[in-house]
Chains A and B, each alone.
Chain A
Amino acid sequence: MDIGIGLWCLQSTATNPRSFGRAYQELIEDARLAERSGIHSLWLSEHHGYYDGYCPALMPAASAALAGTETLQVGTGVLLLPLHDPQRVANAANHLNQQFPERFHLGVGMGYRPVEFEMKDRHMSQRLKLMTSGLDILSTTTQTPTWVGISSEQAAERAGRRGLGLFISGAFSKEVVNKLIAAHRVAWEKSEPSDTTPPPVGLLRNLWIVDTAEEQRQALNWVRSSYLVYAGLGWGADNTGVDFVTEIETSMNEVEKSATVGSAQQIAEDLSGYDVDLVVCRIGYDQPPRSALSDVIERIGSELAPLAREF
């Protein structure tokens, strides 16, 4: 199992205001630290027109992170495909794949905010059609490893039928995650694939390496507060038990239950229960001080990643 880190969103939130210039410079610094620490990959995330500057253009940001490092892999987790011209996305992905061989991953998702579709003169009702036509174009025009961000079994099946990787959200319980993985695998097998290796599965997990009970409580509070951004964005995912809009406290409690905060050994034991190829440690919260973020990046690389490689 590979261990990556995410999600770098380049925000300046009401919780933790900062300059955007600093956020983008820290992206490069964090990528370099992750590389030195032996971490597999760093993943970026996209939204549009949100008050906090949530990064709306992942390809230039990924390019900078790749150019600033030598071996680290960089992924979009995820780029909202229906909001882009898919041929432009394919061109950019091919360019990154060519300039930085085997270091770029294209994660794509559908998006869920009506306002973002309106900004691009599109409508939410078109998103599935735009997503599937976009995936068709990507599959014929790019060899870049492609992952599909999903929050339902139907979406997992769609990715499986196309032989595409899966990128699963961090807020889901183990039970939901396993259902999504199973749906993906079954759909792939039914598609009578020519490839003998199933498409990869990536899993976002809220986690933090700590040594004491006090640190554990603090880290869990960081995880909880980080989901305020999703409440603001209006995220309410169907059939997952997570609705940050109408039931914020309940949803945060669910998120806290799904988070793994403990020693590297405890986290590794928890992760070993998932049949996935990649775990992206969701540590890009807006509350922790910079020193705490740097520290956890180093510890994920030096303590957790070696244990996970054994799975």
Chain B
Amino acid sequence: MRLLLDLRHITDHVERQHLAVQADTYGIWGVVVTGPPGVETVEASAIATATDHVTIVVDIDGEAAHPTTIAEEVAVLDQLSQRRTMIILRAGNEKRNTVTTLLKGLPSEGVILSPPPAQASVVVHAPEDVQQIEMPEEPEKLAELIDQHRDANEQFLVVATHRSVKELARHAIGRAASIDFPQMVADMADQIDPIN
């Protein structure tokens, strides 16, 4: 299971960028960004420019624009981010299918994207495909939640937190990836290299 840091509730641009850079540094797989209609990929582009590795997951209002426009914006973002784009599309099935087809580089009703995305295809999720949690204060609770979603074979888990990104990375990335995460190593690391 891959962890995504939720930046959708962070209102300050500078803080969003700072957290995205931290996620990039500490190996969080992706960050989730959004904005008012039309702003989603604009914000994502700025985050992509400030980072090198983290996947930029863009939560887009698919009802506010023509599907070709949405696909064009995502394709440009994928070129700018060098294949680091994934989207959550809030739209009906028909529109989501059109955007998905276009973002595979395939024609839809005579339209084909130019440029296409840099990836062979950009993954398009429905909002209900991606589970989300608030990071609890207690480490045991976090461990429990991560185990629960990992064991349910979730592919991604979006985590919203006001705590340190390094703390999330230390305690949750390995646990999300493995059924035998050695919690004692993370606990010892907290003593050797305290985060707060």
Contact = CB atoms under 8 A, between A and B. Distances in A.
Nearest to B114: A53
B114 A91 contact: no
Contacts of A67: 45-46, 49-50
A52 interface: yes
Interface in B108-160: 110-115, 118
Q: Chain B at the A interface: mostly helix, strand, loop or mixed? A: helix
B186 interface: no
Interface string B47-73: 011100000000000001110110011
A55 B75 CA distance: 10
Q: Chain A at the B interface: mostly helix, strand, loop or mixed? A: helix
A88 interface: yes
B194 interface: no
A91 B36 contact: yes
Contacts of B82: 21, 25
Interface residues of A, number: 44
Contacts of B112: 49
Contact of B64 (A23, A56, A88, A95): A88
A245 interface: no
A96 interface: yes
A121 B49 CA distance: 32
Nearest to B118: A21
B41 interface: yes
A60 B42 contact: yes
Contacts of B48: 64
B32 interface: no
Given A21-B118, A60-B77, A48 B43 contact: no
B68 A24 contact: no
A189 interface: no
A98 B73 CA distance: 20
A88 B65 CA distance: 8
Interface in B59-98: 64-66, 68-69, 72-73, 75-77, 79-80, 82
Interface in A76-105: 83-85, 87-92, 95-96, 98-99
Contacts of A230: none
Contacts of A62: 42
Interface of B: 13, 35-39, 41-46, 48-50, 64-66, 68-69, 72-73, 75-77, 79-80, 82, 110-115, 118
16 contacts: A20-B79, A21-B79, A23-B79, A49-B114, A57-B41, A59-B38, A60-B76, A64-B46, A64-B48, A67-B45, A67-B49, A67-B50, A87-B37, A89-B38, A119-B111, A120-B68
4 residue pairs, one from A and one from B, having the closest CB atoms: A88-B38, A53-B115, A67-B46, A63-B45
Given A56-B113, A57-B77, 6 more contacts: A20-B115, A50-B114, A57-B73, A60-B44, A64-B80, A88-B38
